[in-house]
Amino acid sequence: MNHFLSIHDVQDLNQLITSGIISKRNPFGDRKLGQDKTIGLLFFNSSLRTRLSTQKAAQNLGLNVLIMNVGQDGWGLEMEESLPGMPVVMDGANAEHVKEAAAVIGQYCDIIGIRSFAKLADQEKDYRELVFEQFKKYAGVPILNLESETRHPLQSLADCITIEEFKVKARPKVVLTWLPHFKALPQAVANSFCEWMNRMDVELVVTHPQGYELAPEFVGNAEVVYDQDKALEGADFVYGKNWSSFTNYGQVLVHDPSWMITEEKMARTDNGKFMHCLPVRRNVKVADEVLDGPRSLVIEQAANREWAAQAALKEILLGMQE
């Protein structure tokens, strides 16, 4: 079954990027592919870009779309399973078990998209991605990751498409930089970006304060530099993102405003472009001057979310025909 959960579900990244770019030029070229099929989009968390772009991409492909704000529209879901001799007794707030919910939704939907953020309380719990594991196990249909506890592959694919469109060197230097923020945010976008960049032909550098190291399996072969100024030198793309600590899990260790991206910082790059997945807090993470200036690709990135979703959905739908 063709799930789309991470880079590991992608055989040929270049082909996938090209597929997105083809859809961008001809959005309705594959309208027959989704005909008489239904995608269910389940949101455990807030969403703007993902909600709209995935819905749009699905409609471009002729799919019917069913949307649920889980918990709000339906019932709280129990995700944990009984262990031998230790039954999960459902006498708490959750009225429905994922075993039933996933299997039932799988009866109505040909594809299920899910958004479920990290709760940032328990590293092990978040990193085993229980919600996705359970839906994979019990839904019986392909699962599309609309941002999981540890990854955001549709964002990463949109980022790949954007870099492909705007790169002026064969092998651009791409710098993922941590940005300051007073709230604790998941590592998902940063993790995922590293994973996907490691498959593209780029020079990936990751920069962040001490204590903000990402999990090694995501960083891979990227160079880690603790000096932001040094990291930015000669960069073609600066990808900003805040994340909370992975090692001191979910904590905000520092909130150093000197890590905010400004024009002065961008001047160190090689006429570099600025990228961010949005939403972004202006003048906390990035200065107005950068977001409003010609270096910013944030809107182009967001627009490419539609084509990333369409490319992913095409893969899943083509996989159904095999």
Residues belonging to the binding site are 47-50, 75, 115, 147, 152-155, 181, 241, 277-278, 281, 305
Tokens of 176: 């993922």
Q: Output the smallest distance, CB 125 to a copy of itself, in A.
A: 20
Cβ closest to a copy of itself, residue 71 vs residue 234: 71
Q: Which amino acid is at 139?
A: A
Q: Output the smallest distance, CB 108 to a copy of itself, in A.
A: 5
- Cα separation, 274 vs 218, whole angstroms: 22
- Cα separation, 209 vs 293, whole angstroms: 26
Q: Which amino acid is at 211?
A: G
Cβ closest to a copy of itself, residue 13 vs residue 88: 88
Q: Output the smallest distance, CB 245 to a copy of itself, in A.
A: 20
Cβ closest to a copy of itself, residue 99 vs residue 268: 99
Q: Output the smallest distance, CB 230 to a copy of itself, in A.
A: 27
Cβ closest to a copy of itself, residue 245 vs residue 296: 296
Q: Output the smallest distance, CB 221 to a copy of itself, in A.
A: 32
Residue ranges of the annotated binding site for carbamoyl phosphate are 47-50, 75, 115, 152-155, 277-278, 305
Query: Exposed, middle or buried by CB within 10 Å (0-12, 13-18, 19+), for 19?
Result: buried
Q: Output the smallest distance, CB 303 to a copy of itself, in A.
A: 4
Q: Which amino acid is at 36?
A: D
Cβ closest to a copy of itself, residue 2 vs residue 38: 38
Cβ closest to a copy of itself, residue 299 vs residue 318: 299
CA atoms within 13 A on the CB side of 113: 32
Residue ranges of the annotated binding site for N(2)-succinyl-L-ornithine are 147, 181, 241, 281
For residue 196, the 8-state DSSP code is H
Nearest to residue 302, comparing CAs of 144, 155, 152?
155
Question: CA Rg, the chain, in Å?
Answer: 20
Q: Output the smallest distance, CB 178 to a copy of itself, in A.
A: 17
- Cα separation, 241 vs 177, whole angstroms: 6
- Cα separation, 246 vs 40, whole angstroms: 31
- Length of the chain measured in residues: 322
Cβ closest to a copy of itself, residue 27 vs residue 234: 27
Count Cβ atoms below 10 Å from residue 169 Cβ, excluding itself.
10
Query: Exposed, middle or buried by CB within 10 Å (0-12, 13-18, 19+), for 16?
Result: buried
Point out which residues bind a copy of itself (CB under 8 A): 27-28, 36, 38, 40, 43, 46-49, 51-53, 55-56, 59, 64, 66, 68-69, 73-75, 78, 82, 87-91, 95-97, 99-101, 103-105, 107-109, 182, 278-284, 287-288, 291-292, 298-299, 302-303, 306
Q: Cα separations (Å) of 141 from 34, 37, 134, 236, 318?
A: 14, 12, 12, 40, 14
For 261, the 3-state DSSP assignment is strand
- Residue 251 belongs to what H/E stretch? none
